[in-house]
Amino acid sequence: MQTARTMSGNVMSQVTLPDDFNADDYLSLNPDVRSAGVDPIEHYLKYGYAEKRAYRKISSILRPKIDESYEFDGLVSTHNHDFMGDARFKSAYARGMQAAGADYQWYWRIHIGLWAARSASRVRGDFVECGVNRGFLSSAIMKDLNWDANGRTFYLLDTFQGLDERYVSEREKEGGVLEKNRNELNTGFYTDVLSIVEGNFSEWSNKRIIVGSIPETLAEIRSTEIAFLHLDLNCSPPEVAAIECMWERISVGGIVLLDDYAYYGYQPQKEGMDDWSARNNVPVASLPTGQGLIIKA
Protein backbone atom coordinates (compact mmCIF):
# COMPACT_ATOMS: atom_id res chain seq x y z
CA MET A 1 0.00 0.00 0.00
CA GLN A 2 1.33 3.42 -0.95
CA THR A 3 0.26 6.54 0.86
CA ALA A 4 1.15 10.20 0.94
CA ARG A 5 0.27 13.14 3.12
CA THR A 6 -1.27 16.04 1.25
CA MET A 7 -2.52 19.47 2.26
CA SER A 8 -6.09 20.49 1.36
CA GLY A 9 -6.73 24.03 2.53
CA ASN A 10 -5.40 24.05 6.09
CA VAL A 11 -6.07 20.34 6.64
CA MET A 12 -3.38 17.70 6.30
CA SER A 13 -4.78 14.34 5.15
CA GLN A 14 -3.40 10.97 4.13
CA VAL A 15 -4.06 9.68 0.61
CA THR A 16 -3.98 5.96 -0.12
CA LEU A 17 -3.36 4.62 -3.61
CA PRO A 18 -6.56 2.84 -4.80
CA ASP A 19 -6.28 -0.95 -5.19
CA ASP A 20 -7.40 -0.68 -8.81
CA PHE A 21 -5.00 2.15 -9.73
CA ASN A 22 -3.55 1.61 -13.21
CA ALA A 23 -0.46 3.68 -13.98
CA ASP A 24 -0.75 3.27 -17.77
CA ASP A 25 -4.39 4.31 -17.71
CA TYR A 26 -3.56 7.30 -15.50
CA LEU A 27 -1.00 8.57 -18.00
CA SER A 28 -3.32 7.92 -20.94
CA LEU A 29 -6.21 9.73 -19.28
CA ASN A 30 -4.00 12.63 -18.15
CA PRO A 31 -1.74 13.55 -21.09
CA ASP A 32 -0.31 16.56 -19.25
CA VAL A 33 1.10 14.21 -16.61
CA ARG A 34 2.54 11.98 -19.30
CA SER A 35 4.08 14.95 -21.09
CA ALA A 36 5.66 16.15 -17.84
CA GLY A 37 7.44 12.80 -17.49
CA VAL A 38 6.61 12.45 -13.80
CA ASP A 39 5.90 9.23 -11.96
CA PRO A 40 2.13 8.54 -12.23
CA ILE A 41 1.80 7.11 -8.72
CA GLU A 42 3.65 9.98 -7.15
CA HIS A 43 1.61 12.50 -9.11
CA TYR A 44 -1.71 10.90 -8.16
CA LEU A 45 -0.88 10.79 -4.48
CA LYS A 46 0.36 14.37 -4.38
CA TYR A 47 -2.03 16.03 -6.81
CA GLY A 48 -4.32 13.69 -8.74
CA TYR A 49 -6.45 12.61 -5.81
CA ALA A 50 -7.17 16.19 -4.75
CA GLU A 51 -7.88 17.17 -8.35
CA LYS A 52 -10.25 14.19 -8.73
CA ARG A 53 -8.37 12.90 -11.76
CA ALA A 54 -9.42 9.65 -13.41
CA TYR A 55 -6.95 6.83 -12.86
CA ARG A 56 -8.61 3.85 -14.56
CA LYS A 57 -10.38 3.65 -17.91
CA ILE A 58 -14.06 2.96 -17.93
CA SER A 59 -15.59 -0.12 -19.52
CA SER A 60 -14.71 -0.68 -23.16
CA ILE A 61 -18.43 -0.53 -23.90
CA LEU A 62 -18.44 3.15 -23.00
CA ARG A 63 -15.15 4.17 -24.57
CA PRO A 64 -14.83 5.74 -28.05
CA LYS A 65 -13.59 3.78 -31.05
CA ILE A 66 -10.42 5.88 -31.16
CA ASP A 67 -9.42 5.39 -27.55
CA GLU A 68 -6.47 7.72 -27.21
CA SER A 69 -6.03 11.38 -26.43
CA TYR A 70 -6.17 13.98 -29.19
CA GLU A 71 -3.01 16.13 -29.15
CA PHE A 72 -2.77 18.24 -32.31
CA ASP A 73 -2.88 21.88 -33.38
CA GLY A 74 -2.82 23.31 -29.87
CA LEU A 75 -5.68 21.14 -28.61
CA VAL A 76 -5.32 18.33 -26.06
CA SER A 77 -8.46 16.36 -25.29
CA THR A 78 -9.56 12.90 -24.22
CA HIS A 79 -13.01 13.45 -25.70
CA ASN A 80 -14.45 11.44 -28.58
CA HIS A 81 -12.81 12.17 -31.93
CA ASP A 82 -14.03 9.13 -33.84
CA PHE A 83 -14.66 11.43 -36.80
CA MET A 84 -11.00 10.90 -37.68
CA GLY A 85 -11.82 7.35 -38.71
CA ASP A 86 -14.83 8.30 -40.83
CA ALA A 87 -14.29 7.53 -44.53
CA ARG A 88 -15.98 10.74 -45.70
CA PHE A 89 -13.85 12.86 -43.38
CA LYS A 90 -10.66 11.10 -44.41
CA SER A 91 -11.43 11.64 -48.09
CA ALA A 92 -12.10 15.35 -47.62
CA TYR A 93 -9.06 15.80 -45.39
CA ALA A 94 -6.85 14.04 -47.94
CA ARG A 95 -8.04 16.51 -50.60
CA GLY A 96 -7.08 19.38 -48.30
CA MET A 97 -3.64 17.85 -47.83
CA GLN A 98 -3.31 17.56 -51.60
CA ALA A 99 -3.97 21.28 -51.92
CA ALA A 100 -1.50 22.21 -49.19
CA GLY A 101 1.15 19.68 -50.10
CA ALA A 102 1.44 18.80 -46.41
CA ASP A 103 -0.46 17.52 -43.40
CA TYR A 104 -0.76 20.39 -40.93
CA GLN A 105 -2.55 18.09 -38.44
CA TRP A 106 -5.59 20.37 -38.47
CA TYR A 107 -7.93 17.40 -37.96
CA TRP A 108 -10.44 18.87 -35.52
CA ARG A 109 -10.29 22.30 -37.17
CA ILE A 110 -11.12 20.78 -40.55
CA HIS A 111 -13.84 18.66 -38.92
CA ILE A 112 -15.46 21.88 -37.68
CA GLY A 113 -15.07 23.45 -41.12
CA LEU A 114 -16.74 20.49 -42.80
CA TRP A 115 -19.57 20.53 -40.28
CA ALA A 116 -20.06 24.25 -40.91
CA ALA A 117 -20.09 23.77 -44.68
CA ARG A 118 -22.50 20.84 -44.52
CA SER A 119 -24.79 22.88 -42.28
CA ALA A 120 -24.57 25.89 -44.59
CA SER A 121 -25.41 23.71 -47.60
CA ARG A 122 -28.93 23.40 -46.17
CA VAL A 123 -29.64 27.13 -46.63
CA ARG A 124 -29.66 29.37 -49.67
CA GLY A 125 -26.54 31.12 -50.88
CA ASP A 126 -23.02 30.88 -52.22
CA PHE A 127 -19.82 30.16 -50.30
CA VAL A 128 -17.01 32.64 -49.64
CA GLU A 129 -13.52 32.14 -48.25
CA CYS A 130 -11.40 35.18 -47.45
CA GLY A 131 -7.84 34.00 -46.97
CA VAL A 132 -7.45 30.93 -49.16
CA ASN A 133 -3.70 30.49 -49.40
CA ARG A 134 -3.20 27.01 -50.90
CA GLY A 135 -6.82 26.03 -50.27
CA PHE A 136 -6.68 23.38 -47.54
CA LEU A 137 -10.15 23.93 -46.06
CA SER A 138 -11.94 25.08 -49.22
CA SER A 139 -10.61 22.09 -51.19
CA ALA A 140 -11.74 19.73 -48.43
CA ILE A 141 -15.20 21.33 -48.46
CA MET A 142 -15.55 21.20 -52.23
CA LYS A 143 -14.54 17.53 -52.24
CA ASP A 144 -16.90 16.76 -49.38
CA LEU A 145 -19.92 18.49 -50.94
CA ASN A 146 -19.33 17.25 -54.52
CA TRP A 147 -19.10 20.91 -55.35
CA ASP A 148 -20.10 21.26 -59.00
CA ALA A 149 -23.26 19.21 -58.39
CA ASN A 150 -24.86 21.75 -56.03
CA GLY A 151 -25.16 24.78 -58.31
CA ARG A 152 -23.44 27.23 -55.98
CA THR A 153 -20.42 29.44 -56.57
CA PHE A 154 -17.43 29.35 -54.23
CA TYR A 155 -15.66 32.73 -54.07
CA LEU A 156 -11.98 32.32 -53.16
CA LEU A 157 -10.27 35.58 -52.15
CA ASP A 158 -6.62 36.14 -51.31
CA THR A 159 -3.66 38.32 -52.21
CA PHE A 160 -1.77 35.09 -52.90
CA GLN A 161 1.24 37.10 -51.78
CA GLY A 162 0.82 37.04 -48.01
CA LEU A 163 -0.47 39.96 -45.95
CA ASP A 164 -0.90 43.42 -47.43
CA GLU A 165 0.98 45.69 -45.02
CA ARG A 166 -1.48 48.52 -45.61
CA TYR A 167 -4.23 46.57 -43.88
CA VAL A 168 -2.33 45.30 -40.86
CA SER A 169 -3.18 47.27 -37.72
CA GLU A 170 -0.48 49.18 -35.88
CA ARG A 171 -0.98 46.97 -32.84
CA GLU A 172 -0.43 43.86 -34.95
CA LYS A 173 2.67 45.40 -36.48
CA GLU A 174 4.01 46.06 -32.98
CA GLY A 175 3.32 42.41 -32.17
CA GLY A 176 5.51 41.17 -35.01
CA VAL A 177 2.83 40.14 -37.52
CA LEU A 178 4.76 41.48 -40.52
CA GLU A 179 7.89 39.57 -39.52
CA LYS A 180 5.82 36.41 -39.19
CA ASN A 181 4.30 37.11 -42.60
CA ARG A 182 7.73 37.37 -44.23
CA ASN A 183 8.78 34.11 -42.60
CA GLU A 184 5.64 32.34 -43.84
CA LEU A 185 6.41 33.53 -47.37
CA ASN A 186 10.08 32.59 -47.16
CA THR A 187 9.32 29.09 -45.89
CA GLY A 188 6.62 28.52 -48.50
CA PHE A 189 3.71 28.19 -46.08
CA TYR A 190 2.10 31.14 -47.88
CA THR A 191 2.14 30.59 -51.60
CA ASP A 192 2.87 33.43 -54.00
CA VAL A 193 2.56 31.25 -57.09
CA LEU A 194 -0.98 31.77 -58.39
CA SER A 195 -0.68 29.02 -60.98
CA ILE A 196 -0.38 26.45 -58.17
CA VAL A 197 -3.65 27.65 -56.68
CA GLU A 198 -5.39 27.73 -60.05
CA GLY A 199 -4.18 24.21 -60.77
CA ASN A 200 -5.51 22.95 -57.47
CA PHE A 201 -8.99 24.37 -58.05
CA SER A 202 -9.14 23.44 -61.76
CA GLU A 203 -11.04 20.31 -60.68
CA TRP A 204 -14.15 22.43 -60.13
CA SER A 205 -15.99 24.81 -62.44
CA ASN A 206 -18.28 26.64 -60.01
CA LYS A 207 -15.70 28.85 -58.35
CA ARG A 208 -14.18 32.31 -58.73
CA ILE A 209 -10.62 32.97 -57.67
CA ILE A 210 -10.33 36.66 -56.81
CA VAL A 211 -6.78 37.98 -56.50
CA GLY A 212 -6.02 41.09 -54.47
CA SER A 213 -6.31 42.71 -51.07
CA ILE A 214 -9.41 42.87 -48.93
CA PRO A 215 -11.32 45.15 -48.60
CA GLU A 216 -10.54 46.29 -52.17
CA THR A 217 -11.74 43.04 -53.77
CA LEU A 218 -14.96 42.58 -51.77
CA ALA A 219 -17.01 44.31 -54.48
CA GLU A 220 -16.24 41.38 -56.78
CA ILE A 221 -18.45 39.10 -54.69
CA ARG A 222 -21.66 39.39 -56.71
CA SER A 223 -23.82 37.04 -54.65
CA THR A 224 -26.97 38.45 -53.10
CA GLU A 225 -27.20 35.45 -50.76
CA ILE A 226 -24.30 33.87 -48.87
CA ALA A 227 -24.62 30.62 -46.94
CA PHE A 228 -21.03 30.18 -45.75
CA LEU A 229 -18.26 32.67 -44.99
CA HIS A 230 -14.82 31.59 -43.81
CA LEU A 231 -12.46 34.31 -42.59
CA ASP A 232 -8.78 33.41 -42.34
CA LEU A 233 -6.91 36.64 -43.05
CA ASN A 234 -4.42 36.54 -40.16
CA CYS A 235 -4.98 40.20 -39.28
CA SER A 236 -7.94 42.11 -37.95
CA PRO A 237 -8.91 45.08 -40.19
CA PRO A 238 -9.70 43.12 -43.38
CA GLU A 239 -11.61 40.47 -41.43
CA VAL A 240 -13.87 43.08 -39.87
CA ALA A 241 -14.28 44.77 -43.25
CA ALA A 242 -15.26 41.46 -44.82
CA ILE A 243 -17.95 40.58 -42.31
CA GLU A 244 -19.31 44.13 -42.38
CA CYS A 245 -19.56 43.94 -46.16
CA MET A 246 -21.29 40.57 -46.28
CA TRP A 247 -23.30 40.26 -43.07
CA GLU A 248 -26.58 41.51 -44.53
CA ARG A 249 -26.28 39.02 -47.40
CA ILE A 250 -25.73 36.00 -45.19
CA SER A 251 -28.86 33.87 -45.17
CA VAL A 252 -30.71 33.03 -41.99
CA GLY A 253 -29.09 29.82 -40.81
CA GLY A 254 -25.89 30.68 -42.66
CA ILE A 255 -22.51 30.10 -41.06
CA VAL A 256 -19.55 32.40 -40.43
CA LEU A 257 -16.42 30.53 -39.39
CA LEU A 258 -13.49 32.52 -37.97
CA ASP A 259 -10.26 30.58 -38.28
CA ASP A 260 -8.12 32.50 -35.78
CA TYR A 261 -10.72 33.94 -33.38
CA ALA A 262 -9.54 32.01 -30.30
CA TYR A 263 -6.23 30.71 -31.65
CA TYR A 264 -3.17 31.39 -29.50
CA GLY A 265 -1.23 34.40 -30.75
CA TYR A 266 -4.07 36.19 -32.57
CA GLN A 267 -5.54 38.36 -29.81
CA PRO A 268 -6.08 41.51 -31.95
CA GLN A 269 -8.26 39.49 -34.35
CA LYS A 270 -10.44 38.32 -31.49
CA GLU A 271 -10.75 41.83 -30.12
CA GLY A 272 -11.61 43.25 -33.53
CA MET A 273 -14.33 40.68 -34.06
CA ASP A 274 -15.59 41.10 -30.49
CA ASP A 275 -15.98 44.85 -31.14
CA TRP A 276 -17.98 44.09 -34.28
CA SER A 277 -20.00 41.48 -32.38
CA ALA A 278 -20.91 43.95 -29.64
CA ARG A 279 -21.90 46.67 -32.12
CA ASN A 280 -24.16 44.31 -34.03
CA ASN A 281 -25.44 42.18 -31.13
CA VAL A 282 -24.17 39.01 -32.82
CA PRO A 283 -22.74 36.36 -30.45
CA VAL A 284 -19.55 34.50 -31.33
CA ALA A 285 -18.90 31.01 -29.96
CA SER A 286 -15.27 30.55 -28.94
CA LEU A 287 -14.17 27.02 -29.85
CA PRO A 288 -11.31 24.99 -28.31
CA THR A 289 -9.94 24.45 -31.82
CA GLY A 290 -9.06 28.17 -31.85
CA GLN A 291 -11.90 29.01 -34.21
CA GLY A 292 -14.94 31.24 -33.72
CA LEU A 293 -18.44 30.34 -34.89
CA ILE A 294 -21.41 32.52 -35.79
CA ILE A 295 -24.80 31.24 -36.96
CA LYS A 296 -26.99 33.91 -38.56
CA ALA A 297 -30.31 34.10 -36.74
- State the DSSP string of 234-272: SSHHHHHHHHHHHGGGEEEEEEEEETTTTSTT-HHHHHH
> Which of 12-21, 71-80, 149-158, 220-229 shows the lowest mean pLDDT across its residues?
12-21
Domain extent for 185: 77-296
**Per-residue CA distances from 278 to 38, 44, 250 (Å):** 45, 44, 18
Q: Are residues 32 and 102 in the same domain?
A: no
Q: Tell whether 154 is covered by a domain.
A: yes
Q: Are residues 101 and 30 in the same domain?
A: no
Q: Tell whether 281 is covered by a domain.
A: yes
Q: Tell whether 6 is covered by a domain.
A: no
Count of the separate structural domains present in the chain? 2
| Res. 216: pLDDT tops 70 | yes
DSSP state of 204: -
pLDDT tens track for 237-256: 999 999 999 999 999 999 99
pTM of the complete model = 0.86
Mean pLDDT (whole number) for 66-91:
95
Closest CA to 261 of 131, 119, 134: 131
| Res. 6: pLDDT tops 60 | no
CATH of the domain at 94: 3.40.50.150
Q: Tell whether 7 is covered by a domain.
A: no
Q: Contact at 8 Å (CB) between 261 and 234?
A: no
Q: Are residues 38 and 148 in the same domain?
A: no
**Per-residue CA distances from 222 to 14, 154, 295 (Å):** 70, 11, 22
Categorize the per-residue pLDDT at 45 as very low, low, confident or very high, splitting at 50, 70 and 90: very high
Q: Are residues 234 and 156 in the same domain?
A: yes
Categorize the per-residue pLDDT at 13 as very low, low, confident or very high, splitting at 50, 70 and 90: low
Q: Are residues 58 and 89 in the same domain?
A: no
Q: Are residues 149 and 118 in the same domain?
A: yes
Please identify, among 40, 63, 86, the residue that sits at the C-terminal boundary of a domain: 63
Q: Are residues 169 and 32 in the same domain?
A: no
Q: Tell whether 48 is covered by a domain.
A: yes
